[in-house]
Chains A and B, each alone.
Chain A
């Protein structure tokens, strides 16, 4: 069975102003249903690459296809989540989750039912009518995740979604995220600074290096699924960690600090 490619980039580039080359010569293909981690040091262009794919910014060169169509702007099959939950403080959880439907004018009983179910799915039963300021950081991200699910997008771009949370909460949310996006339908790109996290979650890790921002390696992660935390101590796992480190170190060696 041939893999269906949802996202394809070739010689993709993005330059800001005269000097900043945020992304250069990115070549990649992302099959439907896969989970890609994008890992790399701060400023290497991870967010820029994500924003290119989401259609929020325009590329400066190369090609970028989503479902075989050139990306020209935001599209409804792509949803995003950020490090901050970006909830509207004056709306309850359920009202925040319904925002995508409100904007698209698709609010009806069915949409409300789905919003309700999404909140249950992310573990926010009994918090449907809480305001963001009544919720912890982790719960706020859960609302943001429910809102992302509500968009119905099957391509999810997550920019360090749990990066601001404590380690325990982050690990739990990572596992819940895996459970939600697993299966052949949802394609996920997950940005992180954390090498272990990147490997643990992904089918494939893209390692990015800075100045100019390049995808220096694409590492297939051949660990059994579903993942569990015990795998992170296996030799195979550590082998992957070492591979990623080598890519980053190899790049950084000759670089001025």
Chain B
């Protein structure tokens, strides 16, 4: 099958059988990591700058399965990022909802959020450490700070950009503001709100790790820092990969939420949810056509 005009970045890629595709992926993987490995082993690449993949892999194996030293750092980092995420998102969405409901608030207070946003959050780290100390609270605070804006601006945009006809429909049905908010504004805004949450999730992880770089006694950020100080490059890289793993797991979580919540944006999900609701309806009300 030719794929002229097919989707996005994959346009123009010749359609292969699944086995051929797998082989292609394997080949590319082999070229990158095989080349890297060989380069490192033969001394073309200084192991102090770029350690061989197998050394990094061994270090990872050691962290997870021999000493188990990574788990505590992993858990504490995830905890700080998640708490920061929850706090930042709550504040961001809370302010956005207030701004959406109150024009006065929107007009006179919301501009500060924008000024706040254009200030790089990371640059505030020293203050955050000064205010919140060296413990986990400063990590959570920075994570919250860094991830606050996307949910704020996305929620506000989503709540305000409601189809004019939908507004008139609800008004003509005699809807209260509260009904309109819950039955129209919030669901209409969900896709863009969730897009904001995805950005926030990444932001929370970045904020946590940067704060850990600055000062911390536990966490993957400080672990990496320690390895780097000791010129232990395999360890540093292993820590980096652990960070990617964290990012990936949080990302997957968000994708899953997207998949579950925004069912009306996917055809397969609409079928699934539609037939579920049909079963529920028939169980509750029986079949009116019968």
Contact = CB atoms under 8 A, between A and B. Distances in A.
A129 B165 contact: no
A84 B165 contact: yes
A118 to B, nearest CB: 11
A116 B288 contact: yes
A86 interface: yes
A86 B264 contact: no
Given A125-B289, A129-B275, A134-B274, A56 B174 contact: no
A216 B277 CA distance: 51
A56 B270 contact: no
A125 B290 CA distance: 12
Does more than half of chain B's interface fall in helix, strand or loop, or is it mixed?
A: helix
Contacts, number: 83
B163 A86 contact: yes
A129 B173 contact: no
The contact size tier of chain B is 20 to 34
A113 B288 contact: yes
A74 B180 CA distance: 15
Contact of B173 (A84, A99, A117, A125): A99
Contacts of B273: 131
A90 B264 contact: yes
Contacts of B275: 129
Interface stretch (A2-10, A58-66, A102-110, A243-251): A102-110
B289 A100 contact: no
Contacts of B172: 54-56, 74, 78-80
Contacts of A94: 281
A193 interface: no
Contact of A86 (B166, B183, B187, B271): B166
B21 interface: no
Interface of A: 51, 54-56, 74, 76, 78-80, 82, 84, 86, 88-90, 92, 94-95, 99-100, 102-104, 109, 112-113, 116-117, 120, 125, 128-134, 151
